[in-house]
Amino acid sequence: MFNGFTLDHVDVGPVTLRVRHGGSGPALVLLHGHPRTHATWHKVAPALAERFTVVCPDLRGYGRSTVPADEPEHAQMSKRAMAGDVATLMRTLGHQEYAVVGHDRGSYAGFRLTMDHPGRVRAFVNIGGPPIGEVLDRAGATFARLWWHWFFLGQTDKPADEVINRDPDRWYGDQPGHVADEAWQDYRAARRDPRTVHAMCEDYRAGLTVDRRDDAADKAAGRRIGCPVLVVWGRHDDLPELYDGDPAAPWQAWAADVRGCEVDAGHSVQEDNPEALLAAIVPFLSR
C-alpha cells in the first residue's frame, strides 16, 4: 500500500500531521473524510503519483495526527483550522501552489482552503460534500432521514463519543470487501482511540457552529472560489436523492467554473470505484 511513498510526521505549528507523500509533477493534496484516515486514498494515490506530487495527510484529530485540546465553540476542529494546517504542511514540503481533492469532511477542509488561501489552490475536486451552510439551511425530513448522524455526532447534551466508545467496532461496522486490510486496520486503530472519536465528533460540532458561521460570512461578503471546481458523487450514494439528481447545483453559487460528474459507486468513491474516479479527475487536474 502506497508503494514508493514516504511516511512522515510534520510539525505544522499547533499540531503534527501524519502524512504520506510521493510522486513527481504538480502538487496535489488529498483530504480524507470521517471516519477514515489518509489510507482511504490507497487505491488512487499511486496512480496519481505518476503525474503529480501527491500529499496525503491525516487531518488534525484523525488517524495518527495530533488531537488538539478543546476550544470554545469547537474551534480546534474547525475547517479553518484544518485548512491552515494543510496550507502550512504544503508550504513546509515546498509546494506554493497545489490542487486539492477532498472527500466527505475533507471536502469541507478543501473548500475552506480555497476560501482562506485562494492564491495557493489551482483546482478543487469535491467528493460527496455539499456546502455545510446550504445543507443546514435546507435540511428537512429527507436530510434528517439520510444524514441524521450530523446531528447525533454534533450535539453536546448527550455526547455521541460516550456512546460510540462503548463499542466502536459495532458503531462503525465491519470491513467492506473493497477496502484493503491494511487500510481497514488503520481506520480501526484510530476509531478505537477515545480521543480520536471525541475529535471526530468535535468536527461535526464545529460544522454546526463555527464552520457554518464562517461560510455564512463569506457568502454575505460575496466571496467565491476562484479556481475551477469539479463535484464528484456516487450514483448509489444519497446525494442524488437529496439534490434531485444534481449534487453540483449548490456549488454554482460559490464558483464560476463548476462541473459535475457521477460515478458508479457509493459514498466512498475512491474505494468503491477508483478507476472511474481517476478517469474523472485526472483530465480535470491536468488542465
Active site residue 149: no
Q: Averaged over 130-153, what is the pLDDT?
A: 88
> Is 1 inside a domain boundary?
no
Render pLDDT for 250-285 as a digit per residue (tens, 0 to 9): 999 999 999 999 999 999 999 999 999 999 999 999
DSSP notation for the chain? --TTPEEEEEE-SSSEEEEEEEE-SSEEEEE--TT--GGGGTTTHHHHTTTSEEEEEPPTTSTTS--PPP-GGGGGG-HHHHHHHHHHHHHHTT-SSEEEEEETHHHHHHHHHHHHSTTTEEEEEEES---HHHHHHT--HHHHHHSTHHHHHH-TTTTHHHHHTT-HHHHH-PPPTTS-HHHHHHHHHHHTSHHHHHHHHHHHHHHHTHHHHHHHHHHHTT--B-S-EEEEEETTSSHHHHTTT-TTGGGGGTBSSEEEEEESS-S-HHHH-HHHHHHHHHHHHT-
Provide the pLDDT for residue 24. 97
Nine-digit cell string for 227? 479556481
- Is it the case that residue 138 has pLDDT exceeding 90? no
Alpha carbons 263 and 265: distance in angstroms, whole number: 6
Q: What total of structural domains would you count in the chain? A: 1
Give the domain CATH number at 219: 3.40.50.1820
Structure-derived torsion over alpha carbons of residues 136, 124, 184, 35, reported in degrees to the nearest 10: -20
- Is it the case that residue 287 has pLDDT exceeding 90? no
Query: How many CB atoms are located within 10 Å of the residue 216 CB?
Result: 14
Render pLDDT for 58-74 as a digit per residue (tens, 0 to 9): 999 999 999 999 999 99
Q: Averaged over 195-206, what is the pLDDT?
A: 98
Domain span at 44: 6-285
Share of the chain above pLDDT 90, in %: 91
Structure-derived torsion over alpha carbons of residues 53, 6, 265, 169, reported in degrees to the nearest 10: -150
Closest alpha carbon to 79 in 39, 46, 108: 108
Provide the pLDDT for residue 212. 95
> Is 175 inside a domain boundary?
yes
> Is 173 inside a domain boundary?
yes
> Is 69 inside a domain boundary?
yes
Q: Which of 8, 193, 246, 267 is catalytic?
A: 267
Render pLDDT for 58-117 as a digit per residue (tens, 0 to 9): 999 999 999 999 999 999 999 999 999 999 999 999 999 999 999 999 999 999 999 999
In one-letter notation, the amino acid at residue 219 is: K
> Is 156 inside a domain boundary?
yes
Nine-digit cell string for 33? 473524510
Average pLDDT over the chain, rounded to an integer? 96
Provide the pLDDT for residue 135. 85
Active site residue 181: no
Paired sense of beta strands 229-234 and 27-31, if any: unpaired
Q: Which of 21, 34, 103, 104 is catalytic?
A: 104
Nine-digit cell string for 273? 470505484
